[in-house]
Amino acid sequence: MDLEAKIHEIRKPIMVLGTSSGAGKSLTVTAICRILKNLGEEPIPFKGQNMSNNAWVDWGGGEMAYSQALQAFACGIIPSAEMNPILLKPQGNSVSEVIHLGKSIGTTTAQNYYKDWFIPGWEVIKKSLKSIYERNPNCRLIIEGAGSPVEMNLIHRDLTNLRVAKYLNANCILVTDIERGGVFAQIIGTLELMKPEEKKLVKGIIINRFRGDLSLFEEGKNWIENKTQIPVIGIIPWLNDSFPPEDSLDLLEKKSRFTNPEIKVGIIKLPSISNFSDFDPLENEESILIAWIKESQNLSEYDFVIIPGSKQTIKDQIFLEKSGLSRDIREYSNNKGNILGICGGLQMLGTTLEDPYFKEGSKNYSKQKINGIGLLPLKTTFSEKKLTRQINSESVWPCQSEINGFEIHNGQTELEDIKSELKIKTIFKDLDLGWYKEINGGGTVAGTYIHGIFENDSWRDQYINLIRKSKNLPILNKKSISYKKKRESIINNLANEFDKHLNLTSFFN
């Protein structure tokens, strides 16, 4: 199939551009995907290039941004790395890992990225588009842009905004965030910086995150339409549903929606935190309050502490040591605290971390081998090749349960020595996926390589009940609502709210 020759035959793609990062493109695409699915269409999400450490692994072991996986769920389809053919995973110091079609193919500095990766990047985007259309000829792509489409110092090498829009002749929607202020300047400035052939692709404007009486913006809406000659197709109110942030910086703004929690969870805010969507199921537990820990403190106020995944485990373990948080975590464990490490967090809970190939941030430090927190008798050696795969296993602690999730990590973790078998036990029937130990007098230390562990309802319920028991709270015998059902409900609520305030009629062909 020659895609360029058949552009006029495909269902017109819808592309969501933003006046800035954080304008609401991801949620808008998610909502449109579900709206179109409900209308009987065949929507497929697409983002040519994303920069995020919040990743997901498809069934072929390919990495992609979690936001595109969530959008695929909204479409009712299985996520695939083709939906996000370029993923850049920041490593700090303006260096990123480059992932094409789910596979890691190198690293780059920001300075060299477009010189070295622009042409192969555009080729992999076109290859993905061709493949999607060959398998799904009746689909409608719902495309997400990145940042602003008119960063003038970058626009000549833009891979994922107007280049894609023009290539596919997409109908574009421009989303702006009124909460940030300056909404008129955002819209007019963005459109004025576009070339005439680019501006004519913009068929609608969405005002996002409006607070108050929508009728009060009628005059503003009329002004925008008269000035731009583009219809305002939606004014979306402020929505309260919790979705994973695209950027780890946004985690600092996330606040619990529940006012009477029985359990307080502390999550260490690592400088290179990754896969923070692991905690979305906890965000949706009404009995739980989540707090982010950024500096050394007494951890006794928390009922359990989580050390999350990390893009640079060595670097983040050095941060824990220098900040005093390693000491705080050890003291917390000595005082009957409950600790859970996920992926990089599991590795940090061990005794040693060795990085002979400079894969996990040791290149900027004098040592390639450092001490971990030392609460589990495990040693980790980072390898050249990354392991990415979906997981289907069975847990033996804190309950017997079927477990689904995925792995993304460098390195192999093993028992420190033969005597370690007496000190810790395995969490899963697959022996290399996680370990735990019970502390004399109370408390547990556990670690797992499985991302998405809390999406497993029985496992999550039993782990929370373990914590409740340690607090002398009544055990929750009632089965909680499946997290995946909750996620579906959140997506439906999002789509319903958008549908009330959004007119997409003119976007169908």
In a domain, 500, yes or no: no
How far is it, in rounded angstroms, from Cα 484 to Cα 311? 26
Task: Verify whether residue 156 is a known catalytic residue.
Answer: no
C-alpha to C-alpha distance for 239 and 399, rounded to whole angstroms: 36
Q: State whether 281 and 387 are in the same domain.
A: yes
Whether residue 313 is found in the same domain as residue 213: no
The per-residue pLDDT for 250 is 52
Query: Which domain-ending residue is among 189, 212, 238?
Result: 238
Q: Is the peptide bond before 237 cis (omega within 30 degrees of 0)?
A: no
For 227, other C-beta atoms within 10 Å of its C-beta total 12
Q: Which member of 100, 139, 172, 451 is catalytic?
A: 451
Residue 170 and residue 198 in one domain: yes
Q: Are residues 232 and 255 in the same domain?
A: no
- Domain boundary at 238, 267, 282, which? 238
Domain that holds residue 464: 248-482
Number of domains in the chain: 2
- 322 shares its domain with 359: yes
The answer to whether residue 71 is domain-embedded is yes
Q: Where are the alpha helices (DSSP H) in 313-452?
A: 313-323, 325-334, 344-349
What are residue 268's phi and psi, to 5 degrees?
-70, 125
Q: Is residue 120 domain-resident?
A: yes
Eight-state DSSP code of residue 345: H
> Where does residue 479 rank: exposed (0-12), middle (13-18), buried (19+ CB within 10 A)?
exposed
Q: Are 125 and 4 in contact (CB under 8 A)?
A: no
Q: Which residue bears the tokens 């596919």?
A: 168
Q: Is 212 found in the same domain as 323?
A: no
pLDDT of residue 327: 98
Q: Which has the closest alpha carbon to 23: 155, 204, 146, 154?
A: 146
pTM: 0.93
Residue 468 belongs to a domain: yes
DSSP-based three-state secondary structure for 486: helix
Residues 127-146: tens digit of each pLDDT:
999 999 999 999 999 999 99
Indicate the residue type of 127: K
Decide if 502 is inside a domain. no
The reply to whether 263 and 376 lie within a common domain is yes
Show the low-confidence residues of the chain (pLDDT under 70).
1, 5, 7-8, 240-259, 361-367, 478-480, 509
Same domain, yes or no: 232 and 283: no
- 334 and 266: one domain? yes
Residue-level pLDDT at 252: 44
282: domain CATH number is 3.40.50.880
Q: What are phi and psi of 384, to 5 degrees?
A: -75, -35
Q: Which two tokens stand for residue 409?
A: 């990590």
In the chain the first and final C-alpha atoms are separated, in Å, by 22
- Which H or E element spans position 482? none
Structural contact between residues 428 and 396, judged by C-beta atoms closer than 8 angstroms? yes
**Separation of alpha carbons 509 and 306, rounded Å:** 49
Domain-terminating residue out of 238, 257, 291: 238
Residue 463 phi/psi, 5-degree rounding, is -65, -40
Question: Given this model, what pLDDT does residue 249 score?
Answer: 44
Considering the domain boundaries, does residue 459 fall inside one? Answer: yes
Question: Per the domain annotation, does 501 fall within a domain?
Answer: no
CATH number at residue 58: 3.40.50.300
Measured from the Cβ of residue 159, the count of other Cβ atoms closer than 10 Å reads 20
- Please tell me which residue in 33, 139, 343, 409 is annotated as part of the active site: 343
Residue 200 shares a structural domain with residue 150: yes
Q: Is 451 one of the catalytic residues? A: yes
Domain shared by 88 and 116, yes or no? yes
Any domain includes 503: no
pLDDT, tens digit, 9 for 90 and up, residues 358-413: 888 656 665 688 999 999 999 999 998 899 999 999 999 999 999 999 999 999 99
Verify that 406 and 330 share a domain, yes or no: yes
Token pair for 60: 């072929």
